[in-house]
């Protein structure tokens, strides 16, 4: 077990060396990733270093819930295995931090001790079969009794299904007349206690992230009153605070993964001989490697920004714009990075046992869970249009050059942004606007990182890449496309009749 008094660089280095030994020397991660689940002995060896101590408050023996340390552990894990990093991310952002911030003091020590000393794990249950992103209409119910709360419902697609020792379960209070409260409550459940045990009805055949179990869960639980999380104001705001903090930790999971894609791509192109040279001698390959380096730079900037703003001492319920920006952009970059590596690797990259081919499938759900990217981009677009209306500023550039998150970056896009978007944008256009604004916000993060001394050439190249991307997105936003689906499309459309 590690000494939690170690300086973090030493703690992280030891953990990275251990993971490299376990995944690249003692075990073969490429072969392990062909089967479902992580071998118990391997998980034990990983958890022996108590990586989750970074998300346990120092008052309870942990390293203190410092965002920088949490992201460092997530990044170290995702360099070797995105599934492992997500396992840690679920534990940190969706269980340990919420318990640290909102849990009753009576239950904290017992829970944190089991994470530090007994390799326990925890997760969060919100999503239901009929209510995904529409969480406010969930049907899981809670009823207060003399001794605690009775919880009934169905949840699914929870990472660590059947594997976690603890769960935070979201439910709505059921009134005497059967009506459900608008607000949401959260309860901690301990699987080792019979009355709190969640029944797994089915395990899903998830297409990626093989090492993490997902499934369908039936809940019929009784929990003590002190296992209800205590919101600062409302349960909905508590949920937003938890989810926004989680989205701001996605860059940690993205960081190591993108770096691995970049390292593998560079190694492939440097060693792959073409004629008298190698792949790196080709102009388009240089461009693709530069795309990966831009992703590395953007993600680095997000990690630095998140470290300064997303600690549990801050309430992030109203910080949807930055949370959505980090989640959407970094997950788009993760998917693109995997696609680029596979393209550069040729046929050998199109295998589950290749980190690129596996990376495509493992990174794809990141664009979907905790809010699909299209939905979150549309929300960003809505926030910007709403802000422009409030300030009575019709021109996009004029608004963004005064907006706090884009004040440093707007001038890089002045020519493209000097127009007035329609106040009643169609949803598809709100998605475009959200993509644009998210990337301009990211340029602001990159500039802030440059001011701290980050590699100048990487910053300059990254900004040029984002300028090109924004220019393309502006064209999409301003193009008049109102096409909708054609009903009965199969009528008069069989090509065989016209050949």
Give percent of the chain with pLDDT exceeding 70. 99
Dihedral pair phi/psi, residue 148, rounded to 5°: 170, -130
Q: Provide the pLDDT confidence category of residue 276 given band limits of 50, 70 and 90.
A: confident
For residue 367, what are the CA distances in angstroms to 120, 223, 372? 28, 34, 6
Contact 401, 411 (CB under 8 A): yes
* Residue in this structure with the two tokens 């300028």, named with its chain if needed: 467
pLDDT at 273: 86
pLDDT at 390: 96
Q: What ranges make up the beta strands (E) of 191-344?
A: 199-203, 215-224, 273-274, 277-278
**pLDDT tens-digit profile of 84-115?**
999 999 999 999 999 999 999 999 999 999 99
Measured distance CA(288)–CA(286) in Å, rounded: 6
Which two three-digit tokens encode residue 412? 């890089």
Measured distance CA(77)–CA(93) in Å, rounded: 15
Measured distance CA(330)–CA(158) in Å, rounded: 21
For residue 309, what are the CA distances in angstroms to 242, 248, 288, 326? 14, 9, 32, 12
Total-model pTM: 0.96
Residue 180 has, within 13 A of its CA and on its CB side, a CA count of 17
pLDDT at 274: 84
Measured distance CA(429)–CA(437) in Å, rounded: 12
Measured distance CA(248)–CA(324) in Å, rounded: 8
Measured distance CA(161)–CA(203) in Å, rounded: 8
pLDDT (mean) for 256-265: 98
* Residue in this structure with the two tokens 């046992």, named with its chain if needed: 353
Measured distance CA(47)–CA(70) in Å, rounded: 15
- The answer on pLDDT for 163 being more than 70 is yes
Reduced to 3 states (helix: H, G, I; strand: E, B; else coil), residue 325 is helix
Dihedral pair phi/psi, residue 116, rounded to 5°: -80, -30
**pLDDT tens-digit profile of 403-413?**
999 999 999 99
Residue 487 has, within 13 A of its CA and on its CB side, a CA count of 0
Q: Provide the pLDDT confidence category of residue 270 given band limits of 50, 70 and 90.
A: very high
Reduced to 3 states (helix: H, G, I; strand: E, B; else coil), residue 301 is helix
Contact 151, 227 (CB under 8 A): no
* Residue in this structure with the two tokens 């009784």, named with its chain if needed: 222
pLDDT (mean) for 369-384: 97
Measured distance CA(199)–CA(219) in Å, rounded: 7
Greater pLDDT, 309 or 176: 309
Contacts of 109 (CB under 8 A, 6+ apart): 60
**pLDDT tens-digit profile of 443-499?**
999 999 999 999 999 999 999 999 999 999 999 999 999 999 999 999 999 999 999
Could you please report the per-residue DSSP string of 128-155?
BTTBSS-GGG---EEEE-SSEEEEEEEE
**pLDDT tens-digit profile of 32-71?**
888 999 899 999 999 999 999 999 999 999 999 999 999 9
Mean pLDDT for all residues in the chain = 96
pLDDT at 423: 85
Q: Provide the pLDDT confidence category of residue 207 given band limits of 50, 70 and 90.
A: very high
Other CB atoms within 10 Å distance of the CB of residue 180: 17
**pLDDT tens-digit profile of 297-320?**
999 999 999 999 999 999 999 999
Measured distance CA(248)–CA(325) in Å, rounded: 9
- The answer on pLDDT for 2 being more than 70 is no
Q: Provide the pLDDT confidence category of residue 3 given band limits of 50, 70 and 90.
A: low
CA angle 304, 158, 427 (to 5 degrees): 65
The alpha carbon torsion through 214, 218, 220, 224 (nearest 10 deg) reads 10
Q: What ranges make up the beta strands (E) of 275-388?
A: 277-278
DSSP β-ladder status, 215-224 and 148-156: antiparallel
pLDDT (mean) for 411-421: 96
**pLDDT tens-digit profile of 101-160?**
999 999 999 999 999 999 999 999 999 999 988 999 999 999 999 989 999 999 999 999
CA angle 158, 162, 167 (to 5 degrees): 60
pLDDT (mean) for 355-359: 96
Contact 254, 336 (CB under 8 A): no
Could you please report the per-residue DSSP string of 174-203?
BPTTS-B-SS-EEEEEETTSGGGPPEEEEE
Measured distance CA(422)–CA(280) in Å, rounded: 44
């Amino acid at each position: 077990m590690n000494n939690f008094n170690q300086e973090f660089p030493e703690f992280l280095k030891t953990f990275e060396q251990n993971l490299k030994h376990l995944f690249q020397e003692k075990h073969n991660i490429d072969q392990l990733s062909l089967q479902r689940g992580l071998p118990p002995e391997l998980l034990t060896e990983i958890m022996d270093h108590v990586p989750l101590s970074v998300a346990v408050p120092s008052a309870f023996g942990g390293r203190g819930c410092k965002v920088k340390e949490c992201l460092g552990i997530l990044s170290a894990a995702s360099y070797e295995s995105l599934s492992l990093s997500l396992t840690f991310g679920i534990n940190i952002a969706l269980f340990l931090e919420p318990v640290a911030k909102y849990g009753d003091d009576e239950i904290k020590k017992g829970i944190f001790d089991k994470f530090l000393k007994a390799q326990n794990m925890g997760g969060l249950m919100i999503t239901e079969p009929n209510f995904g992103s529409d969480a406010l209409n969930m049907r899981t119910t809670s009823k207060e009794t003399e001794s605690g709360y009775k919880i009934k419902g169905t949840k699914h697609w929870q990472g660590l299904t059947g594997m976690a020792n603890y769960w935070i379960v979201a439910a709505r209070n059921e009134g005497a007349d059967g009506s459900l409260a608008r607000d949401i409550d959260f309860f901690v459940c301990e699987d080792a206690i019979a009355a709190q045990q969640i029944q797994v009805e089915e395990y899903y055949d998830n297409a990626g992230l093989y090492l993490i179990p997902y499934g369908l869960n039936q809940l019929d639980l009784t929990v003590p009153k002190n296992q209800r999380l205590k919101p600062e104001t409302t349960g909905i705001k508590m949920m937003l605070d938890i989810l926004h903090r989680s989205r701001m930790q996605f860059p940690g999971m993205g960081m190591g993964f993108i770096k691995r894609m970049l390292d593998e791509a560079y190694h492939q192109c440097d060693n792959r001989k073409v004629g008298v040279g190698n792949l790196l001698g080709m102009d388009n390959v240089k461009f693709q490697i530069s795309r990966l380096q831009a992703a590395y730079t953007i993600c680095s900037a997000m990690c630095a920004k998140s470290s300064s703003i997303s600690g549990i001492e801050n309430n992030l319920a109203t910080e949807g714009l930055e949370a959505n920006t980090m989640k959407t952009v970094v997950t788009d970059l993760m998917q693109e990075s995997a696609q680029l590596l596979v393209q550069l690797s040729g046929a050998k990259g199109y295998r589950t046992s290749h980190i690129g081919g596996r990376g495509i499938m493992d990174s794809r759900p990141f664009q979907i869970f905790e809010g699909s990217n299209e939905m979150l981009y549309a929300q960003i677009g809505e926030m910007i249009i709403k802000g422009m209306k409030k300030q009575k500023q019709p021109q996009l550039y004029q608004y963004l050059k005064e907006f706090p998150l884009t004040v440093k970056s707007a001038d890089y896009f002045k020519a493209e942004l000097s127009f007035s978007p329609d106040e009643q944008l169609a949803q598809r256009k709100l998605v475009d606007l959200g993509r644009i604004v998210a990337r301009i916000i990211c340029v602001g993060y990159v500039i802030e990182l440059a001011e701290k001394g980050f590699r100048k050439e990487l910053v300059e190249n990254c900004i040029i890449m984002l300028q090109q991307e924004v220019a393309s997105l502006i064209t999409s936003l301003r193009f008049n496309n109102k096409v909708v689906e054609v009903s009965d499309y199969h009528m008069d459309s069989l090509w065989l009749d016209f050949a």
